[in-house]
Structure 1
Amino acid sequence: MTTRSAPEPTRPLPSLAGEVADKPKQPVTARGERTRSALVAAARRVFERDGFQESRLTDITAEANCSTGTFYTYFQSKEE
C-alpha cells in the first residue's frame, strides 16, 4: 500500500523577462502611470455601463484608447 503525499505548493513561473509571472509590472515612468490610471478609469466606466460580467477586455482598452497588449503590461486579467 502506498501513501500519497500532499502535492507540492506551486510557485510562480518566471517570465521571459526574468520577473515573476503572477506579479504585474508597475509603471516606472510618468507616462506608464498615466496609462495605467487611464486603464483603471476606463474599466470603472465600462463596469458601470455594462456590468462586470458583461464587460470585455476589448471594451476597456478601447475606452482607454490603448492596445490589449498594453493592458497586459499592467494587469493579468479583468478581475485584477
Structure 2
Amino acid sequence: MPYALFCNDSQISKAYPSEADVWKLAQRSGLVVDVGTDDERQGPRRVLDNDYEIKSCQAAQGEDPAKNKAEADRESRIELQLNS
C-alpha cells in the first residue's frame, strides 16, 4: 500500500512505496520537528509540523510510487552534490 503526505485530509504529495519514504520527503521539506522526550522514549521524537499527516493512499491512475521514490532519491543526491 502506498503512502503520501496529507494536510487537512488533502493529499499534497505524490504516492511513495513506504511510510519511511514519505518521512524522508517531509524531513527534506522542513516539515519534521523534534519535540521533547517523554518517560517511554529517550531523546527527542520526530513529529510532523502543523496539520501534516502521513497516511496510506491509492496511487493516482498511471502513477508509479517506486518511480516517485527513485526520482526523489535522485533529486536528493543532486541537491547534496550542489551543496558540497
> What is the TM-score with the length of structure 1 in the denominator?
0.30
> What is the TM-score with the length of structure 2 in the denominator?
0.29
Name which one, 1 or 2, has greater alpha-carbon Rg: 1
The structure carrying a bigger helix percent of its residues is 1
